[in-house]
Amino acid sequence: MQAEPKTSLVGTEYEVEVGPVAHGGHCIARTAEGQVLFVRHTLPGERVVARVTEGEEGARFLRADAVQILEASKDRVEAPCPYAGPGRCGGCDWQHAKPGAQRRLKGEVIAEQLQRLAGLTPEEAGWDGTVMPAEGDKLPAGEVPQWRTRVQYAVTPEGRAGLRRHRSHEVEPVEHCMIAAEGVSELGIEERDWTGMESVEAIAASGSQDRQVILTPKPGARLPIVELDKPVSVMRVGEKDGGVHRVHGRPFVRERADDRTYRVGSGGFWQVHPKAADTLMKAVMQGLLPRKGDTALDLYCGVGLFAGALADRVGEKGAVLGIESGKRAVEDARHNLASFDRVRVEQGKVEAVLPRTGITDVDLIVLDPPRAGAGKKTVAHLTTLGARRIAYVACDPAALARDIAYFKDGGYKVRTLRAFDLFPMTHHVECVAILEPADKGR
């Protein structure tokens, strides 16, 4: 017998009191019947009319947008971006919140994840509860930091560049993205016709004048001649192999951190906020306190940001091993770290490569995994290596909290935690946790 289709509630409106913030850029509310709503475009304590955007009767939760604000929070501001709002651009979650309130909301999310998934209060995690803005991001009211050095534009059927709507393939055409770095805006991507393209990624390095666009053509489409307002190198994503191929110019951009230049090939990872690489590198080094002669691991090392900083500090008698799955990122890391004799970079997944290395003890570990985190097996392995300190760089506080719980099982505790707002206007936040053996006093 076929199950009865459930009745969609999309479009239904509820007047609700808005409760606390939840991970993902929304707040929690309940309908009169007790059904949970994840409401965007609102703030804790507000009374709003929430219109359902996803979900059906009896679902565990519904998603909704606040379409009318009946009682506004004192943290609310008029969104500075004309493309923000219900049904519009999905790039920013907190355009309608004061900058200080955005950081408070991110702090509340971190605290909630730590408590729920790792059983830790902020004090137990050695965290003062604050989320620090990046240097230079505290701006007069109404001004928005222009921090996005990499912007992935989608293209409308008419060939206009835009940004995707929230949880949708639809494109919101934009004439100017407020959070895009000046180097991206200067290219004039939004003014060009991109007919035939699926997407156009713009990269403006912050450590050099390098500019690059990566085109993803629709199947069978011809590449346009790219004439932008500034010189750029051009890459394309291959229709068959999905790889990034050079059309003209350098196949990489040059970034700077810790007074070192890093080559970052197309498709390779580099932090998006211009201050992020240095901010995180400093937080990691201040937490680890490397000594001459130390041995260290840089896991999920990308093009070698932390391995380079560690190599400088552990000196000629020390050694650093980086592990990274991306082939091109490994080539870049080897190039970037070629001046160090005692730095090695292995290609492959950490979970496969680390056991194969046969390493049984190290002094220090940095891990900077993707959003899913490192996971139980990898964390369990790391806790057997006897590291004096471990720095965990996390772009997702939920994955961080889950992995901290695994570290706890393996005899490690969090010594300090710091949080940085490296993604203003969005719900994203970056944390650096420093762990050490639990039997060591604070």
Ligand X SMILES: C[S@@+](CC[C@H](N)C(=O)[O-])C[C@H]1O[C@@H](n2cnc3c(N)ncnc32)[C@H](O)[C@@H]1O
Q: Does the annotation flag 271 for ligand binding?
A: yes
Q: Does the annotation flag 212 for ligand binding?
A: no
CB atoms inside a 10 Å sphere around CB 273: 25
Q: Which is nearer to ligand X, 81 or 395 (CB)?
A: 395
Q: Least distance in Å: CB of 263 to ligand X?
A: 12
Q: Which is nearer to ligand X, 190 or 255 (CB)?
A: 255
- E strands within 238-325? 244-248, 252-257, 260-265, 295-299, 319-324
Q: Which is nearer to ligand X, 130 or 325 (CB)?
A: 325
How far is Cα 108 from Cα 103, in angstroms, rounded to an integer? Answer: 9
Q: Is 291 helix (H, G, I), strand (E, B) or coil?
A: coil
Q: Least distance in Å: CB of 159 to ligand X?
A: 32
How far is Cα 73 from Cα 254, in angstroms, rounded to an integer? Answer: 43
Q: Least distance in Å: CB of 57 to ligand X?
A: 39
Q: Which residue is closest to ligand X by CB?
A: 302
Q: Which is nearer to ligand X, 76 or 381 (CB)?
A: 381
Q: Which is nearer to ligand X, 31 or 347 (CB)?
A: 347
Q: Are 419 and 132 in contact (CB under 8 A)?
A: yes
- Is 395 among the residues known to form the active site? yes
Q: Half-sphere exposure (CA, 13 Å, Cβ side) for 190?
A: 15
Q: Does the annotation flag 65 for ligand binding?
A: no
If residue 351 lies in a helix (H) or strand (E), which one and from where to where? helix 350-357
Beta-strand pair 36-40/61-71:
parallel
Q: Does the annotation flag 368 for ligand binding?
A: yes
Q: Least distance in Å: CB of 353 to ligand X?
A: 7
Q: Least distance in Å: CB of 346 to ligand X?
A: 9
Look at residues 12, 16, 9, 71 and name the one whose alpha carbon lies nearest to residue 39: 16
Helix 397-409, helix 99-113: angle, nearest 10:
30
Interface with ligand X by CB under 6 A: which residues? 269-271, 300-302, 305-306, 323-326, 329, 349-350, 368, 370, 395
89, 92, 301, 395: the catalytic one is 395
DSSP per residue over 206-254, as a string? SSSS-EEEEEEEPTTPPPPP---SS--EEEEE-TTT--EEEEES-SEEE
Annotated binding site for S-adenosyl-L-methionine: 271, 300, 324, 368
Q: Which residues are catalytic?
A: 395
Annotated binding site: 271, 300, 324, 368
